Structure 1
Amino acid sequence: MANCPAVHGGYPSDYVAVSIAIFAVILLIVRSSFPFLIHKVPSARGSAFWIPVIQVVASFNFLLSLVMAGNFLKYKRSHWWLSCYVWAVWVEGPLGFGLLMSCRIAQAFQLYYAFVKRRLPPVRSHIFLPLSVLPWIAGAAIIHVKKPLNCRCHLQAYWVIAVMCLHALYVAVLVGFTGAIRHIEFRFDELKDLWQGILVSASLIGLWVSAYILNEIHDNISWLQVTSRFILLFTASILVLVFFSISISQPLLTQISFIKRESIEFKTMCQALGIPDSGLLLHGEQAVVIDPNEPLDKLLTHKMFRQSFMAFADSCLAGESVHFFEEVHELGKIPIDDPISRIYMARHIINKYIIAGAAMEVNISHRSRQAILSTPDLTHPDLFTDALNELIQLMKMNLAKDYWSSMYFLKLKDETSVRSNGYEMEQMSGAYSFSPRLSCVNAVDDPFHQDHFSSGSSQDVHHPYP
């Protein structure tokens, strides 16, 4: 130890590596929060929000543990919280790399059940994730009890083999789930991100083994130790950024450019999936006469009425039922022979309206909610029928009665009248189109003595008078 001062750290290259790691963490936080801060995208609830957040925390823990346990800084381990077992065992393992891999496995687990089994996972993410980290916690506890670390926070050879087997096991599980869904034609970047995660995790394992060998076996070569730990932290900082992905949990956010501050191309899942006639009204769309005596579910199929009724419901802070109807209506436009798009849309509706604590949770019975959450087929055409019928009955008793006497309905009647007149005028203008040839008459035949000739046509028509 006395002959190898580089072990204690504090070299200029060490501080450069630490600075790169800090910059990587800042960039990771900016990258994860960019859609919400710049484009004002509403944050999701449940695993779609927490798994990316946990990925960021695990990435920070992993890089911090490498700095504290890798002898990058010159300090004395005089306190228990500076111990090798805190940073090299607990923070780097269960709270760092292990948690990072568990997040990616949880995402792959969800995709496997949704797109291969066509049902929701039997275990919720808040239960699956702690279960995935349990082997890392058990391994860290064993190492903490046996205390095999030396003064440089390095394990002995046979312990390294056991730790590498645990790392390889998680990579193998991730490869297994990814291989099971490789035939799915995803609409976004889920499969690419999974393979990217496998490559990153495998590379980190290889780097860790290489750095261990260089630091442990060649501990008498100062420049080799300094170089190896610099490469380890630098590469880990880059790979942590590459490993992070938000598209698996929130695929719509992949449509937002991180480089250019441009508008979101697809604001709804309907538009992202290419569902026809989704979005705003077309300018030339013919208006439909609204009859209050018609059933509400039939009226809601008309886009003009649905948007007016939705605006009224939103003003009453009760618009989630109408939004739910609209998205289920859009789901019905997806053909049965396109199960991938139907699964995307069904998962989107469930996460937004059905699960407990959802952003726009609808007021339906427990029976209907459980029937949706436990469905064996996410592509079933009647998946949301019972819930939709319950909400229509609620809207009939509450919102519909107040809507007919509201300003929103009066405004809709005016817009319908204007659109109807405009549509009739367009039809008339199409039927009676005036051509320059028909409007060209001689001055003596023109009762208003107007010259209808253009400069080009005046050469072809001869006046009777010079």
Structure 2
Amino acid sequence: MASGCAKRGGCPSDYVAVSIAAICFLVLLSRSVLPCLIHKAPRNNSSSFWIPVIQVFSSFNLLFSTMMSINLLQFKTKHWWQYCYLWSVWVEGPLGFGLLMSCRITQAFQLYFIFVKKRLPPVKSYVFLPLVLLPWIFGAAIVQAKRPLDSQCHMGLEWTLPVAGLNALYVLALLAFTRAIRHVEFRFDELRDLWKGILVSATSVALWVTSFVLNEIHTDTSWLQVTSRFVLLVTGGILVIVFFSISSHQPLLAQISFKNRQEFPRMGLALGIHDSGLLFRKEEVRPVDPNEPLDKLLLNKRFRKSLMEFADSCYAGETLHFYEEVYEHGKIPEGDSIRRIYMARHIMEKFIVAGAEMEVNVSHKTRQEILTTQDLTHLDLFKNALNEVMQLIKMNLVRDYWSSTFFIKFKEEVAMDKEGWSLSPPRMSLVQGSDDPFYQEHMSKSSTSRYSSPS
């Protein structure tokens, strides 16, 4: 039989494994929290926020329960909280690896319906996730009832293989959903993250099964006991770092670089939706006529910016922000279904769903039409909602804006910039000679300036 620290725990390699696991979890925590803290990313109540939070929670459970269940630390006396079935069966199983895999399966399930079926999933994530976790809960209940663990938290081979099979079943389920979406051209590496998760989880399961079987069967070999539990914990630490990814549900955060302290980008920028055509100052600073239709006034960017600042000061800016996001959504070509889905889903989570970050005041019928749509790429998906929002802007914001200091400031800026020309720097063309459409204009201007005498 194994003796000394191999049996009771507390070997030098055990503390090294605990240190590695702690470092891995801190790295995981920094990856999930720092982007939100540094860039002040908005928090919403959708699955895009809660699933990554649950992943962090399950990662901690997996590492801590592994440490507690395989006797890595040496305790002089036995405490009630060292109960084997608590850590080995419940925390490490359903609340650890099972919950971690269930989160990724839920993400793959959502991606399948959104990008393949082009509609929102028929089952909410807070319902689907517990359903996926049920096999783990039933399995843990059976182990709890049969009580196969000994005083050292070891179970026999007849129990080890079914547990390994349950782990493999979840990897296969994730593989099935990932294969179903493999043809989708994602913009934020969601598919790559899922394949990476499958590879890492499959490798981890293989290492775990090998180490677990050796740890359970060869209880009389000291070096094998020490080595196997070291591999178990270190593999778990590597798993939670590589396996964790938030890009599947928060693509904006995936674009943030810690080296570049840029502002939190809009979805339109992340998707590469830019303004088309050249902007001339004479178009931007033209006087605004309050009698013009609102939809025409909002095409003036400077006016829209001024009105949005006024709306934000009145804590009613969600209507203008919604208009701008829908306006960007309309710029995406009809055939670009992937980007249209990204943008539509972003608008839904930000403005449409109940309790959203900037929920707009639209009728229940309109809200349900959007949330239950069978085609997320439909051109008129937000048409009714936009009409209702435009009515709110006309009746409230615009009327107050005309008598506000923001409009006075806007008129002063128009008057000051009335003589200007271009808002953007001179355009550099890669085309040379007569093939350049700007060539004649450049030549005429340079010739005029060259031969005209100074006044």
1:409 aligns with 2:412: no
Which amino acid in structure 2 is aligned with residue 297 of structure 1? Answer: D
Q: How does 1:222-371 map to 2 (within 5 A)?
A: 222-258=222-258, 260=259, 262-264=260-262, 267-277=265-275, 286-371=284-369
2:384 counterpart residue number: 386
1:463 counterpart residue number: none
Q: 1:432 to 1:212 in 2, by over 3 A?
A: closer
Which amino acid in structure 2 is aligned with residue 420 of structure 1? Answer: K
1:66 counterpart residue number: 66
1:464 counterpart residue number: none
Which amino acid in structure 2 is aligned with residue 269 of structure 1? Answer: M
CA contact (8 A) 1:4 1:220 kept: no
1:346 shift after superposition:
0.3
Structure 2: any 5+ residue segments left out of the alignment? 427-440
SS of 1:246's equivalent in the other structure is coil
Which amino acid in structure 1 is aligned with residue 368 of structure 2? Answer: Q
Q: How does 1:13-162 map to 2 (within 5 A)?
A: 13-75=13-75, 78-162=78-162
CA contact (8 A) 1:175 1:198 kept: yes
Which one has a bigger Cα radius of gyration? 1
Which amino acid in structure 1 is aligned with residue 395 of structure 2? Answer: M
Q: 1:285 to 1:63 in 2, by over 3 A?
A: farther
Which amino acid in structure 2 is aligned with residue 370 of structure 1? Answer: Q
Give the TM-score, by structure 1 length. Answer: 0.88
RMSD across aligned C-alpha pairs, in angstroms? 2.5
1:331 shift after superposition:
0.4
Output the CA distance in 1 between the equivalents of 2:314 and 2:32. 33
1:384-443 Cα shifts (integer Å, max 9, x gaps): 11111111111111111101111111222222333332129999xx86975344428xxx
1:64 shift after superposition:
0.4
1:150 shift after superposition:
2.3
SS of 1:420's equivalent in the other structure is coil
Aligned match for 2:396, one of 395, 398, 421: 398
Structure 1: any 5+ residue segments left out of the alignment? 441-447, 449-466
Which amino acid in structure 2 is aligned with residue 105 of structure 1? Answer: I
Q: How does 1:415-426 map to 2 (within 5 A)?
A: 415-423=413-421
1:295 shift after superposition:
1.7
Q: 1:87 to 1:432 in 2, by over 3 A?
A: closer
1:41 shift after superposition:
2.2
What is the identity percentage for the equivalent residue pairs of Structure 1 and Structure 2?
61
CA contact (8 A) 2:21 2:63 kept: yes
1:435 aligns with 2:433: no
Q: 1:14 to 1:328 in 2, by over 3 A?
A: same
Q: 1:438 to 1:384 in 2, by over 3 A?
A: closer
CA contact (8 A) 2:178 2:191 kept: yes
SS of 2:61's equivalent in the other structure is helix
SS of 2:354's equivalent in the other structure is coil
Q: 1:73 to 1:33 in 2, by over 3 A?
A: same
CA contact (8 A) 2:84 2:149 kept: yes
1:334 shift after superposition:
0.3
1:263 shift after superposition:
2.4
1:35 shift after superposition:
0.6
SS of 2:163's equivalent in the other structure is helix
1:15 shift after superposition:
0.9
1:75 shift after superposition:
2.5
1:202-223 Cα shifts (integer Å, max 9, x gaps): 1221111111222123222211
1:182 counterpart residue number: 182
SS of 1:423's equivalent in the other structure is coil
2:172 counterpart residue number: 172
1:12 counterpart residue number: 12
CA contact (8 A) 2:2 2:219 kept: no
Q: 1:27 to 1:358 in 2, by over 3 A?
A: same
Which amino acid in structure 2 is aligned with residue 337 of structure 1? Answer: G
Q: 1:281 to 1:234 in 2, by over 3 A?
A: farther
CA contact (8 A) 2:157 2:213 kept: no
Which range moves more in the overlay, 94-103 or 164-173? Answer: 164-173
Q: 1:150 to 1:406 in 2, by over 3 A?
A: same
Output the CA distance in 2 between the equivalents of 1:282 and 1:216. 75
Give the TM-score, by structure 2 length. Answer: 0.90
Q: 1:391 to 1:413 in 2, by over 3 A?
A: same
Which amino acid in structure 2 is aligned with residue 234 of structure 1? Answer: V
Q: 1:282 to 1:373 in 2, by over 3 A?
A: farther
CA contact (8 A) 1:204 1:236 kept: yes
1:312-355 Cα shifts (integer Å, max 9, x gaps): 10000000011000000110000000000000000000010011
Q: 1:6 to 1:414 in 2, by over 3 A?
A: same
CA contact (8 A) 1:171 1:202 kept: yes
Output the CA distance in 1 between the equivalents of 2:352 and 2:150. 53
SS of 2:421's equivalent in the other structure is helix
Which range moves more in the overlay, 103-112 or 415-424? Answer: 415-424
Which range moves more in the overlay, 146-155 or 168-177? Answer: 146-155
Q: 1:365 to 1:201 in 2, by over 3 A?
A: same
CA contact (8 A) 2:156 2:216 kept: no
CA contact (8 A) 1:48 1:249 kept: yes
Output the CA distance in 2 between the equivalents of 1:359 and 1:147. 48
1:1-31 Cα shifts (integer Å, max 9, x gaps): 4657512211111011111111211221111
CA contact (8 A) 1:255 1:264 kept: no
1:62 shift after superposition:
0.1
CA contact (8 A) 2:167 2:205 kept: yes
1:284 shift after superposition:
8.0
Q: 1:406 to 1:73 in 2, by over 3 A?
A: same
